[in-house]
Structure 1
Amino acid sequence: MHNGKYKCHASNGHKQSIYEEFTVRVPSAPIVTVHTSTVRAPRNHTFHIGCMASSHPQITSLGSVSWFKGSRRIQNNRDDYRYSISDSNDGLTSISILNTPRVNSTVAGTYRCEFSNNQGSASQTIRLDGLFYHAPHRLTGNHDRRLELLLSQEKTDVALATVF
């Protein structure tokens, strides 16, 4: 992409040089990223999976982000009130978080987040596996909106999941 800040310098050798800075934003379809393509979650615990997208124009409306389980679209708070979706946009990136119901064999599976704008659409998939782990023994958050959850099984660290 050619997006970014550019600086123009003009001089004719007689007067003071002129500098001008400008920003170029090339229209583009969303570019979707996920932190990991497979998430292992403790059975019978709720879990959150997330996707992030950047694009120009920005993704601003709720209808521009969709979640699917398999081929079925997930409706926010409509699928037996089991799923909820929260979206945010900081002007540069859009983040969508799918809050899952308690993880069991019917909740485990492949999920897809899809972002759209007037330039196109893009998606990523995340596989949610339900595992029998003890409750998390470390939960940390930091300034860049990532949440780390360390799962353990009988005092042995077995998975570190980071959620946007």
Structure 2
Amino acid sequence: MMSDYVGSSLLLRDVTQRSAGGYLCIASNGHPPSISKRIIVSVNFVPEVMGPKPTTWASLGSTVSLTCLFTAHPAPRVVWMRENYLGSQMLNEEYFTVTPQDGHPPYTHNMTLNMRNLISSDFGIYTCIIRNLLGEAQATTILRGKS
């Protein structure tokens, strides 16, 4: 969203994560040259997450992807947890990818866990956990087997 404001200072009220981004100040007195300065505004906030469906179905030997869409600043620590009949396991960055989400507010990313050739121990409860200095958010899905 672009808009113009004329004045010697810009006051940002009710700042949210959508307020983050670049602002361009252009000074002009009607005689060239105009002078401009770009200011980057960062906004810190508690993580927010939208996870996969509550239940995901897949067959043995198949491929499945679980994705959480999250937004957070400052940069969060992200992990997937898996709970099954073998216990709990933290899945670190070797197991999933984090990619920026185009067309969304700044600091928005997808965290995708891709699993191929599923075996019985892959089925269970998966939780994506997003944590930064201000707090934590998580979303859970149950990966169930279908015949």
Task: Give TM-score, length-normalised by structure 1.
Answer: 0.53
- 2:32 is the alignment partner of 1:31: no
* Separation in 2, partners of 1:46, 1:16: 59
* Separation in 1, partners of 2:133, 2:99: 17
Q: Structure 1 residues 89 and 47 mapped into 2: Cα distance closer, same or farther (>3 Å)?
A: closer
8 Å CA contact retained: 1:103, 1:130: no
CA deviation profile, 1:66-99 (whole Å, cap 9, x unmatched): 323459642349xxxxxx7234456953625263
CA deviation profile, 1:121-143 (whole Å, cap 9, x unmatched): 111122323212xxxxxxxxxxx
Partner letter of residue 86 of structure 1? F
| Residue in 2 that maps onto 1:115 | 130
CA deviation profile, 1:89-114 (whole Å, cap 9, x unmatched): 5695362526377354x654432110
Q: Structure 1 residues 98 and 118 mapped into 2: Cα distance closer, same or farther (>3 Å)?
A: farther
Structure 2: gaps of 5 or more residues: 1-16, 101-105
Q: Structure 1 residues 124 and 74 mapped into 2: Cα distance closer, same or farther (>3 Å)?
A: same
More displaced stretch, 28-37 vs 123-132: 28-37
For the aligned residue pairs, the C-alpha RMSD in angstroms reads 3.5
| Residue in 2 that maps onto 1:145 | none
For 1:1-150, list aligned pairs within 5 A.
1=17, 2-12=19-29, 16-34=33-51, 36-59=53-76, 64-69=77-82, 73-76=88-91, 85-88=95-98, 92=107, 93=109, 95-97=111-113, 99=115, 102=118, 104=120, 107-132=122-147
Structure with larger RCO (C-alpha < 8 A, sep 6+) = 2
* Separation in 2, partners of 1:14, 1:87: 51
* Separation in 1, partners of 2:88, 2:45: 24
* Separation in 1, partners of 2:65, 2:140: 14
* Separation in 1, partners of 2:35, 2:90: 54
Identity %: 26
